[in-house]
Chain A
């Protein structure tokens, strides 16, 4: 597991009327991708802001790289993409990135070289001298992303990095994140899109209502969650499968998404029996896969429908 790059110990943060984060303890080891998952309003951004020392916890403490000096003092080693993106709209793309590099302690020349490298890599080479306001939203997000990675940080913290991106750009960014992590650096990102986390993360933590529900290595969490699961994709007539799902001798639980479904088998039931039953109902199948539980199912099982509701003002003390 190695030394913890981020250690959050018993952190609580209250805002007027509600508790955003409650007694949260997290440990992010060096290297790899750590996913901070949770429904909207779970306290992900608040946690990240406390890690970045933008807001102070009411209780508990946060240490980065083994010190409590705070994210700002260590900003040369950290790249941070806040949830609320911000760029100077009237500034030219390259000038903007050079400025970001300078705020991270790079010299101008160095910042310029790195900015140009990243811009051409993310297909923004033709836009270096355009004002930010002339760029599309997706392009602006790429610029912001470059600003985060420009100074080659050891630790990259991304708050909802892929939200609002089209599939192509989203994929480009995910590839970059994976590559960054491969270089021995640590990436922490928050998301509420389970598929992204499932594809990318080595370790995750799920929080709901400001409290940790589960954390650890993704493989361990899946193993612990246990059960035998079958992932099904229908090609036609998916409604006919519903009676089968209600058969308690075969199916313990189901996450029915219409065209796809994830079924947890009852102890003692075999996948073959389920397959036979489905074929008997004249259901068209394009996939029938015995698998571990998906992160989505784990998330819903752990957080529950209730946990997915944003924390209300009345919540907490």
Chain B
């Protein structure tokens, strides 16, 4: 009997792993993770370098000159090998600001080929120091990063300029105003971990996304494959030698193994990326040290991996048996869309409760949600990633999850048994109730 189930599992697994969709998905996953690691780094460090900016200086004082100095000192990134952000030139234009601006605007934002092409004009007026008003006319005003860079280059200068004007030594004031550097490190079970607060949140968030996507995607695969077998009329052949339960179990476990394989490959790629992060970032010209990028790929402790995988498997079995039952009730994928809604609601509820408890993972809400089988696969791993759950409590959650799983399998197997051989009209909820009660 077991051998037949193994045959179904093998078929399901082999046929699925051979598909293009699987191969593409498996390859795209790590690329996506890689992009998640690298793109923010690139965004953080890379304003465009060598911007050609003309400072139109309408002041009689030395302010314009100091702006020129500050801009010339600005470097991309934090590392020592950053490139100058600006290639700036100052034009003294006291009393004729508007004329100079008008003539220079003509040269701004042209294509790179034009000699003397400018990226922008920074206009300093007589009252700029007191009003804090500067004008920037440029082609890159839509770039948040460029504008942030410009603003952060100029702000300290403006502050020190104002302090100077009231007779305070800017150096003293700047030292006094230095921001505090709050280094957050998570403590778990009396041990200091290497995780920062931000990365804990990120990890919980990423786990939530992966759980949700995997449960829904692979669950839907179970459903469509049941519908396919039904519309191919292959069920009649199968049902003459396999019990419906063997068919359902084989399908769910087969697809589940595919999902674990894919997640495993992704996890492996993730670990590789994590270990070689500095190198990879280096290839893209991003210096990772001290830039805060290191925390984007957080470390995972082995127990968390166990809890995550354990609840993923339980949740997968739970949801995919529901999906299998839904598939068995329908003749087409379109029909299944409607019946899927209650399951979608459950998964979305699980996803939201996981995030609702991020703020307080030990609240009574979090504890209650961990006891509800449809929610637990989302809630427990996310909770565990934020604050370790004591073992007895964790075992309780596992136990309720397993009880819930057995109940849902009992119900869905009964629906499946009748459903796979029903053709024609879609089953109503009344029918389903009758199928479940039938012995």
Contact B4 A72 (CB under 8 A): no
B241 contacts partner chain A, Cβ-Cβ < 8 Å = yes
- Known contacts A75-B241, A78-B240: does B3 contact A88 (CB below 8 Å)? no
B238 contacts partner chain A, Cβ-Cβ < 8 Å = yes
Cβ contacts A203-246/B at 8 Å (1 or 0 each): 00000000000000000000000000000000000000000000
B424 to chain A, nearest CB (A): 10
B187 contacts partner chain A, Cβ-Cβ < 8 Å = no
B421 to chain A, nearest CB (A): 6
- Known contacts A54-B421, A72-B242: does B232 contact A105 (CB below 8 Å)? no
A95 to B15, CA, bound (A): 10
List residues of B (240-272) whose CB comes within 8 Å of A's CBs.
Answer: 240-243
B368 contacts partner chain A, Cβ-Cβ < 8 Å = no
A144 to B236, CA, bound (A): 12
Which of B4, B19, B232, B242 sits near A88, CB closer than 8 Å?
A: B232
Contact A55 B232 (CB under 8 A): no
Cβ contacts B196-240/A at 8 Å (1 or 0 each): 000000000000000000000000000000000100111111111
A95 to B14, CA, bound (A): 10
- Known contacts A55-B421, A102-B3: does B242 contact A80 (CB below 8 Å)? no
- Does more than half of chain A's interface fall in helix, strand or loop, or is it mixed? loop
B439 to chain A, nearest CB (A): 10
Contact A89 B243 (CB under 8 A): no
B256 to chain A, nearest CB (A): 19
B263 to chain A, nearest CB (A): 24
A99 to B235, CA, bound (A): 14
B11 contacts partner chain A, Cβ-Cβ < 8 Å = yes
Contact B239 A72 (CB under 8 A): yes
Which size class do A's interface residues fall under? 20 to 34
- Known contacts A75-B241, A103-B242: does B236 contact A54 (CB below 8 Å)? yes
B110 contacts partner chain A, Cβ-Cβ < 8 Å = no
A117 contacts partner chain B, Cβ-Cβ < 8 Å = no
A90 contacts partner chain B, Cβ-Cβ < 8 Å = yes
Contact B234 A88 (CB under 8 A): yes
Residue of B nearest to A80 (CB): B240
B403 contacts partner chain A, Cβ-Cβ < 8 Å = no
A228 to chain B, nearest CB (A): 45
- Does more than half of chain B's interface fall in helix, strand or loop, or is it mixed? helix
A295 to B239, CA, bound (A): 34
A176 to B19, CA, bound (A): 36
Residues of A within 8 A of B11 (CB): 91, 95, 99
Contact B237 A80 (CB under 8 A): yes
List residues of A (149-184) whose CB comes within 8 Å of B's CBs.
Answer: none
Contact A100 B240 (CB under 8 A): no
Contact A71 B232 (CB under 8 A): no
Which of A71, A89, A105, A147 sits near B237, CB closer than 8 Å?
A: A147
Residues of A within 8 A of B238 (CB): 103
Residues of B within 8 A of A84 (CB): 233, 236
Contact A72 B232 (CB under 8 A): no
A177 to B240, CA, bound (A): 20
Contact B7 A99 (CB under 8 A): yes
A253 contacts partner chain B, Cβ-Cβ < 8 Å = no
Closest 6 CB pairs of A and B: A86-B234, A102-B7, A84-B233, A75-B241, A86-B233, A82-B236
Q: List 27 A-B contacts (CB under 8 A).
A: A52-B240, A54-B239, A71-B240, A72-B239, A72-B240, A72-B241, A75-B240, A75-B241, A80-B237, A82-B236, A84-B236, A86-B229, A86-B233, A86-B235, A86-B237, A87-B232, A88-B15, A90-B15, A90-B19, A91-B11, A95-B11, A99-B7, A103-B4, A103-B241, A104-B241, A105-B4, A147-B237
Contacts A84-B236, A86-B235, A86-B237 supplied; 12 other A-B pairs, CB < 8 Å: A55-B421, A72-B240, A72-B242, A80-B240, A86-B233, A86-B234, A88-B15, A88-B232, A88-B234, A95-B11, A99-B11, A105-B4
Interface residues of A (CB under 8 A from B): 52, 54-55, 71-72, 75, 78, 80, 82, 84-91, 95, 99-100, 102-105, 144, 147
